[in-house]
Homo-oligomer: A and B are copies of this chain.
Amino acid sequence: MPKSITRTYSRYSRDAAALIGALIREARNERKLTAQELADRAGISRGLLQRIEKGNLKCEIGAVFEVATIVGVKLFDADENRLTQYLRQTREKLVLLPKSVRKKSKVMRDDF
């Protein structure tokens, strides 16, 4: 990560992360779990869990998903079956798709 990158995030991304974080915190309280307990179960530190619940965008997605899974926050708010089904479908579809994209060569007249 050279040259000190300062990322800019869209509002949608920020809202999505904040939503997941809020849902996790809510679910954790409903299940009467302390932050430390949930962090232990997920194999992460309490500090990281705090940042996740705050909707911090600079957390590794694996940690967020893991915590969400443990407390039962469904990603895609769809049932789990659909997820794996869709995953299989998508994989099948992908092998049929071209592997690389290509521009219409140099300059193409499409103005008529």
Contact = CB atoms under 8 A, between A and B. Distances in A.
Contact of A65 (B8, B33, B57): B57
Contact of A86 (B12, B19, B43, B101): B19
Copies of this polypeptide in the complex: 2
Interface string A87-101: 100110110011011
B57 A60 contact: yes
Interface string A3-46: 00101111011011111001101101100111000000001100
Interface of A: 5, 7-10, 12-13, 15-19, 22-23, 25-26, 28-29, 32-34, 43-44, 57-66, 69-70, 75-78, 80, 83-84, 86-87, 90-91, 93-94, 97-98, 100-101, 103
